[in-house]
Amino acid sequence: MQTPHLAIIHTRPAFIPRHGYGRWVLDLRDLAVPVLAAPMAGGPTTPELVSAVSEAGAAGFLAAGYKAADAVAADLAAVRAVTAAAFGVNLFVVAPYEADPAALEAYRRSLLPEALRLDVGLGDPRWDDDDYDAKIELVLDLRPDVASFTFGCPQPEVLRHLRERGVLSMVTVTSVTEGRVAVARGAASLCVQGPEAGGHRGTWDLEETPDTTPLLDLLRSVAAVVDVPVVAGGGLADAADVASVLARGAVAAQVGTAYLACDEAGTNPVHRAALADPAFAETTLTRAYTGRWARGLANRFTAEHRDAPAGYPQLHHLTAPLRRAAVLAGDGHIAHLWAGVAHAHTRPGRAADLTRALAP
């Protein structure tokens, strides 16, 4: 155990004392393994996955997206019950959005044959903010080491409150402009997400076509104009990939898809089977499932619903019963199968072993 004195002697500029809380803001450069296991909402992230990754010397991330604040608090407690190591919590920042009613209705009608085939109704295409305020209260109260945000950037006040409570804020950015704005608002670190990434693009403007600059180029451009620690993710699958982002200015790599087949992940069986099936050879960018661009394994649904309009979370709610039924029916051609471009490297195994193997 370091004494408080030694902690002060070793303090780097990025270390800020947690006034009144007796802890120090995490410096990502101090991770034994410079890796963040990406938060993966919708099932794959479990407290077991997060604690296994953090215990192995990297940082696990709980995914608060789609969950009620109470459930997130229970996940946080479950991680803390097994490890004192650093971990983060990830929140969605969902901007108000009114989907075009005609486009929404046309899309709903195009899904009816799918619903009929699975014998389910479609969901209510409503907007909601994913319980944002309650989750902000929660992270301010329970103070995980890191609070990360995707789909948008919190207001400066929220970022300031996090800093005051000794929580490292991290904002996902997909362009140089988003990076500049996030830092100007007070983000203490950035997560640069490249177009190779699995799952949703974090692009703030729902209607914008996401930036296609490859991760390594985007990282270099963002790192050149900001003065906060930068993490980089998208298509990273092994220690050489991790080393490649560190060499371009990142303090750590963010890895998602590679963890999907881990024993501790809650990835559903249809998703796991597709990741192991060479017939699902390609990934594609689609908004057919949620009305927000996301990368997943190409299947019949992504091929037949290229016309999906923008509308998050309206389309997410509309297709949710369909996707649940598809998983129950074992149908990988309707279920969503989020995965990044390096999905072919995903292997079953222990999260701790994968984490150690990612160390450059």
Ligand X SMILES: Cc1cc2nc3c(=O)[nH]c(=O)nc-3n(C[C@H](O)[C@H](O)[C@H](O)COP(=O)(O)O)c2cc1C
User: Cis bond leading into 313, ω under 30°?
Assistant: yes
Contact (Cβ atoms closer than 8 angstroms) between residue 60 and residue 68: no
Smaller CB separation from ligand X, 164 or 238: 238
Tokens of 110: 């195009």
Smaller CB separation from ligand X, 125 or 210: 210
For 172, list phi and psi in degrees, rounded to 5.
-75, 130
| CA–CA distances in Å: residue 147 to residues 44, 323, 333 | 19, 29, 34
Least spacing, CB of residue 19 vs ligand X, in Å: 28
- Binding to ligand X (CB under 6 A): which residues in 297-336? none
Least spacing, CB of residue 97 vs ligand X, in Å: 18
Q: Which of 49, 85, 218, 236 binds ligand X (CB under 6 A)?
A: 236
Tokens of 191: 């997560």
**195 is a contact residue toward ligand X (CB under 6 A):** no
| Residues ≥6 apart with Cβ < 8 Å to 220 | 248, 249
Site string for ligand X, 74-113 (x = CB under 6 A): ----------------x-----------------------
SS3 277: coil
Tokens of 341: 């471009």
Q: Which of 198, 229, 311, 332 binds ligand X (CB under 6 A)?
A: 198
For 329, list phi and psi in degrees, rounded to 5.
-85, -5
Q: What is the dihedral of CA 164, 165, 167, 173, to 10 degrees?
A: -40
Smaller CB separation from ligand X, 41 or 153: 41
For 55, list phi and psi in degrees, rounded to 5.
-60, -30
Q: Which of 144, 186, 199, 332 binds ligand X (CB under 6 A)?
A: 199
Smaller CB separation from ligand X, 90 or 319: 90
Site string for ligand X, 62-81 (x = CB under 6 A): -x-x----------------
**47 is a contact residue toward ligand X (CB under 6 A):** no
Contact (Cβ atoms closer than 8 angstroms) between residue 118 and residue 325: yes
Q: What is the dihedral of CA 181, 177, 358, 34, to 10 degrees?
A: -30
Q: Which of 60, 186, 234, 291 binds ligand X (CB under 6 A)?
A: 234
Smaller CB separation from ligand X, 222 or 255: 255
**38 is a contact residue toward ligand X (CB under 6 A):** yes
Site string for ligand X, 242-261 (x = CB under 6 A): ------------xxxx----
Helix axes 69-82, 132-142, angle to 10 degrees: 30
Site string for ligand X, 165-184 (x = CB under 6 A): -------x------------
| CA–CA distances in Å: residue 340 to residues 28, 40, 139, 194, 296 | 24, 12, 28, 10, 7
Strands 252-255 and 230-233: parallel
Q: Which of 27, 274, 338, 351 binds ligand X (CB under 6 A)?
A: 338
Least spacing, CB of residue 197 vs ligand X, in Å: 3
Least spacing, CB of residue 9 vs ligand X, in Å: 35
Q: Which residues bind ligand X (CB under 6 A)?
A: 38-41, 44, 63, 65, 90, 150, 172, 193, 196-199, 233-236, 254-257, 338-340, 342
